[in-house]
Amino acid sequence: MAEQTSAVAGMAVAAPHSTDELIRCAVGLARTCLGMDVGFVTEFRDGLRIFRHVASVEGFSPVRVGDYDPLDESYCALVVNGRIPAIVQDSHAYPELVALAATDQFDIRAHVGVPIRFHDGAVFGTFCCYSRNPEANLSNCDVGTLAAFANLIGELIESRVLGERARATIVERLTDVFSAGRFTMVYQGVFDTERQRVVGYEALARFAPEPGRGPDQWFTEAHGVELGHRLEMLAIEKALAGLALIPDGVYLAINVSPQTILTGVLDAVLAGAPLDRLMLEVTEHCSITDYDQISQALAQLRKNGLRLAVDDAGSGYASFRHILKLKPDVIKLDQSLIRNIDHEAGSRALAAALITFAAATGSKVVAEGVETEDELSTLRELGVHTVQGYLTGRPGSLPAG
């Protein structure tokens, strides 16, 4: 039997350690219960059967994990196609098996095999056991035992395979975005209600309508497959192109996650950009494990004029830690806090506390998601005069000229 080549190695499925251990135990236990010499799980792929899990009696190792051979020359294919029964008490009683090279190659006399199927009926492969001697006592009860183990193994494998398929779909979708740039940037103004003018713009990504999903989902999925930093950097590069249309004295805000900051790629993508006209908005909702690393990664950029904002303040505990640890120049009150703030006493109290904190620490406050005149009026009463939302301007193209 050929050993796994690099091409076939690329088909190997990485599994969590606990899943592999469960399957190995199931294979070994089934082999022992049936009193067979070898037990194995195979996967059918691209005309091959690939051995994914193997258990053998001590001193006998005819096959190893990762080995493969042609599917149509195997007992496994014959079992799934119904050309041989699930129980073969003696292979020498079947002319087709006597003629099959695998019978002599692996020294197969008795064989029990069942398909491993997923819930949609698709065949993943087989679970088989065999002995080097005939086994006249094999019965339907033994098939039932093997089938029960196969169902367990199928459940474990299906969960993993479905996860891998979902990941592959996301990666393929993102690869298309990277290669074809299938998204655009829009800009939403940040409005100073006292000076009655736009003082900044936040760059926001907008993706193609198919498949239908919001920007947050795109970035969340990208981070889930370790491609978040690439998508963020591409978005920043596109956003920076808008600086040429933004007047002097008006800043551009760009979004970035802590994961991307820690990769160190910001220095390269912002090289040559006018840092004193940029504001970096930290957009992560979960906690940061090492704020010192984040601060160190941003230290030189901030020294050279880059301003830092903590986004979504008031939306959860993580945002409060960001404010305390990162010491931002700007605190952005989350739209969930702003919505109906004119009617919600709790929202007003929390906003007031954040505003007081900002004043004490030298940070400025921007309220995002402002949609009504009553919300704006309440915010002005609280001392917030810089706002962002549909009331003062929807996301769109930058004004020309």
> Per-residue DSSP letters for 343-359?
T-HHHHHHHHHHHHHHH
Q: Strand, helix or coil at 269? A: helix
Average pLDDT of 106-128? 95
Domain extent at residue 209? 181-388
Length of the chain equals 401
pLDDT digits 0-9 by tens, 341-355: 999 999 999 999 999
The answer to whether the beta carbons of residues 382 and 351 sit under 8 Å apart is: yes
Residue where a domain terminates, one of 135, 166, 197: 166
| Identity of the amino acid at 239 | A
- Please give the pLDDT value at position 218: 92
Bridge-based pairing state of the strands 251-256 and 278-282: parallel
400, two tokens: 């020309």
- Please give the pLDDT value at position 10: 39
Residue where a domain terminates, one of 137, 166, 195: 166
Give the pLDDT band (50/70/90) at residue 11: very low
CA 261/CA 258 separation, integer angstroms: 5
Same domain, residue pair 64 and 151:
yes
Q: Where are the alpha helices (DSSP H) in 40-139?
A: 75-81, 95-99, 101-105
Q: Cβ atoms within 10 A of the Cβ of 375, count? A: 23
CATH code at position 162:
3.30.450.40
Give the pLDDT band (50/70/90) at residue 241: very high
- Please give the pLDDT value at position 211: 66
Give the pLDDT band (50/70/90) at residue 137: very high
State yes or no: pLDDT of 59 exceeds 90.
Answer: yes
Rounded to 5°, angle at Cα 356 from 354 and 357 = 60
Same domain, residue pair 51 and 27:
yes
State yes or no: pLDDT of 53 exceeds 80.
Answer: yes
- Please give the pLDDT value at position 290: 84
Residue 294: inside a domain, yes or no? Answer: yes
Sequence-ordered list of residues with C-beta below 8 angstroms from that of 233, at least 6 positions apart, any chain: 260, 265, 269
Range 52-57 contact pairs with CB under 8 angstroms and sequence separation of 24 or more: 52/13, 52/23, 52/125, 53/20, 53/23, 53/24, 53/27, 53/153, 54/27, 55/24, 55/27, 55/28, 55/31, 56/31
State yes or no: pLDDT of 332 exceeds 80.
Answer: yes
278, two tokens: 């940029």
State yes or no: pLDDT of 270 exceeds 70.
Answer: yes
Give the pLDDT band (50/70/90) at residue 5: very low
- Paired strand residues for 381: none
Residue 401: inside a domain, yes or no? Answer: no
User: In this structure, is the dihedral angle defined by the CA atoms of residues 167, 169, 175 and 180, taken in order, positive or negative?
Assistant: negative
CATH code at position 227:
3.20.20.450
Give the pLDDT band (50/70/90) at residue 16: very low
Same domain, residue pair 201 and 322:
yes
Give the pLDDT band (50/70/90) at residue 401: low
- Please give the pLDDT value at position 9: 35
Residue 283: inside a domain, yes or no? Answer: yes
Running DSSP on this structure, what letter comes out for residue 396? B
Same domain, residue pair 162 and 185:
no
Same domain, residue pair 107 and 198:
no
Running DSSP on this structure, what letter comes out for residue 250? -
The answer to whether the beta carbons of residues 365 and 358 sit under 8 Å apart is: yes
Same domain, residue pair 151 and 216:
no
Sequence-ordered list of residues with C-beta below 8 angstroms from that of 147, at least 6 positions apart, any chain: 114
The answer to whether the beta carbons of residues 308 and 328 sit under 8 Å apart is: yes
CA 304/CA 306 separation, integer angstroms: 6
Give the pLDDT band (50/70/90) at residue 285: low
When divided into structural domains, the chain yields a total of 2
Residue where a domain terminates, one of 132, 166, 200: 166
Same domain, residue pair 229 and 364:
yes
Same domain, residue pair 156 and 208:
no
Provide the edge-to-edge strand list for the sheet that holds 110-117: 68-70, 48-56, 38-45, 123-131, 110-117, 87-88
Residue 311: inside a domain, yes or no? Answer: yes
Q: Identify the residue with better confidence: 289 or 48.
A: 48
Same domain, residue pair 141 and 229:
no
State yes or no: pLDDT of 378 exceeds 80.
Answer: yes
Average pLDDT of 88-117? 96
State yes or no: pLDDT of 8 exceeds 80.
Answer: no
Residue 375: inside a domain, yes or no? Answer: yes
State yes or no: pLDDT of 2 exceeds 90.
Answer: no
Question: How distant is the alpha carbon of residue 67 from its chain centre?
Answer: 30
Same domain, residue pair 49 and 120:
yes
Average pLDDT of 388-401? 90
Residue 393: inside a domain, yes or no? Answer: no
Give the pLDDT band (50/70/90) at residue 17: low
Give the pLDDT band (50/70/90) at residue 400: confident
313: enclosing H helix or E strand: strand 307-313
304, two tokens: 């050279």
- Please give the pLDDT value at position 312: 80
Question: Average model confidence (pLDDT) for the chain?
Answer: 90
CA 34/CA 129 separation, integer angstroms: 8
Residue 187: inside a domain, yes or no? Answer: yes
Return the closest-CA partner of residue 181 out of 213, 216, 204, 206.
206
Same domain, residue pair 226 and 370:
yes
pLDDT digits 0-9 by tens, 166-204: 999 999 989 988 887 788 999 999 999 999 999 999 999
Same domain, residue pair 217 and 147:
no
Average pLDDT of 75-80? 96
